[in-house]
Amino acid sequence: MKRKRILVADDEVYIVHILEFSLSMEGYEVISATSGVEALRRIEEEQPDLIVLDVMMPGLDGHEVCRRLRADERTSRTPIIFLTAKDTPADRDLGLGLGANAYITKPFGPRKLIEAIENLLDDDAGDAAVGL
């Protein structure tokens, strides 16, 4: 079985490093981006199995990246998790309404993210929307 590939997009480099380490230790192949534009480019090149997006990034924000991914038939069903400091109920509703499968707020424990990833990658349909 091939290793699952996860793209992590966050403009906070230390968050990217923490996630690269944590997810690699779980056996995932990790691709990273530090902006929305870079995330879209890497997604097109690498075709990840799941995408973790921050909302607040330079250039294109995570919301716009999510909109574009959901509008593209190649990525319309790829699971997306928002990992963000935007923690109001309205923020969560917006993220899930744009098509994200899960919404996790910072600060977070890596185990919480890993559990959400495992649940989404185990879900063949990839349609479960969860606000964690």
- Summarised one tens digit per residue, pLDDT across range 5-40 is 999 999 999 999 999 999 999 999 999 999 999 999
- Domains (ranges, CATH) in the chain? 5-131 (3.40.50.2300)
Q: Which amino acid is at 94?
A: L
For the stretch 85-94, contacts whose Cβ atoms lie closer than 8 Å and that sit 24 or more positions apart, written own/partner, are: 85/55, 85/56, 86/55, 86/56, 91/55, 92/131, 94/63
pTM of the entire structure?
A: 0.90
- Summarised one tens digit per residue, pLDDT across range 30-80 is 999 999 999 999 999 999 999 999 999 988 999 999 999 999 999 999 999
- Summarised one tens digit per residue, pLDDT across range 107-128 is 888 899 999 999 999 975 444 4
Reference 62, options 89, 28, 98; nearest CA is 98
Q: At what angle do helices 36-46 and 62-71 cross, to 10 degrees?
A: 30
